[in-house]
Amino acid sequence: MKPIVIGNWKMNITSQEAKVYLGTFLRKLEVLKQAEVTLCPAGPVIPTVAQMLEGTGVAWGSQNAHWEERGAFTGEVSMEILQDLGCRLVLCGHSERRKWFKESDFEISRKVEQALAHNIVPVLCVGETFDERKAQKHEVVVIEQVRKGTERLSNIPALALIVAYEPVWAIGTGQAIEPEQAWEMARLIRSVLREVLPSGAESVPIIYGGSVNEINVASFVDGDAISGVLVGGTSLDPEKFHQLIAQLI
Ligand code: 13P
């Protein structure tokens, strides 16, 4: 299986900047084609990125979406709109959304369900805070997030899901965790998936995120416990992000 690499641009990179970025990033396409690469720009930038990525093998996705089909939800974007834009995946429950927008596990589980209903792969993001890790509660917290985030999946026939383990204390800090710690949590997540999705658990890719860069990336992706990465800061630099992907192939 190709390694999964998702670039989360967060609230950075305008449409104009994306054009310049892709001019550099798409230069060595043969490298990018050996991984499953997806870029997640800010919502209004998706059409520009989609137009430039069409036919390259690099996919695009969204950092978020609402769980309802349509309706009076000012400022929100639906999965149907993302599907219309050709999004391959959508991040559900990123820790920044849990923290700043108070997203609950219930809302996140509905997003996961709604994404699948529109043939978009939900990337369920889970991870403990520093205080939770210090208090040795990281396992309990992550088990709960995986259980609750997947609780509406039993009715979904063609299951496609990715789980991203992103310890909050490693995000944007430049301080990634030890690969062994990430593998340990990935194994724990796999055991919860076996319990909640008995038939599809083995095929759900688990990826790591949190201060991944072109130097440390290869140490996380072992092709067994962890099959890819979710990258923030390093994905903002097209050359470094390209180098990061090259490390995995
Ligand atoms: P950084 O790579 O900047 O730590 O961000 C990780 C992240 O939040 C990706 O979703």
Please state, in angstroms and rounded to a whole number, the distance separating the CA atoms of residues 198 and 43.
34
Phi, psi of 90 (to 5 degrees): -140, 135
pLDDT tens per residue, range 124-141: 999 999 999 999 999 999
Cα–Cα dist 93/159, whole Å: 18
Read off the pLDDT of residues 219-233 as tens digits, 9 standing for 90 and up: 999 878 999 999 999
Distance 36 CA to ligand 1 centre (A): 18
> Ligand 1, closest atom to CA 171?
4
pLDDT at 197: 87
Work out the pLDDT band at 157, boundaries 50, 70, 90.
Answer: low
The answer to whether 217 and 235 are in contact (CB under 8 A) is no
Average pLDDT, the chain: 95
Task: Tell me if the pTM is above 0.75.
Answer: yes
Determine contact, residues 166/125, Cβ cutoff 8 Å.
yes
The answer to whether residue 158 scores a pLDDT higher than 70 is no
**Residue extents of the structural domains in the chain:** 4-71+81-246
Provide the CATH number for the domain formed by 4-71+81-246 in this structure: 3.20.20.70
Inter-residue contact 157 to 177 (CB < 8 Å): no
Q: Is 123 exposed, middle or buried (0-12, 13-18, 19+ CB in 10 A)?
A: buried
Rounded to 5 degrees, what are φ and ψ at 11?
-95, 55
- For residue 156, the model assigns a pLDDT of 56
Contact 229, 221 (CB under 8 A): yes
Asked if residues 188 and 143 have their Cβ atoms less than 8 Å apart, the reply is yes
Whether 178 is catalytic is no
Report the nearest-CA residue for atom 9 of ligand 1.
232
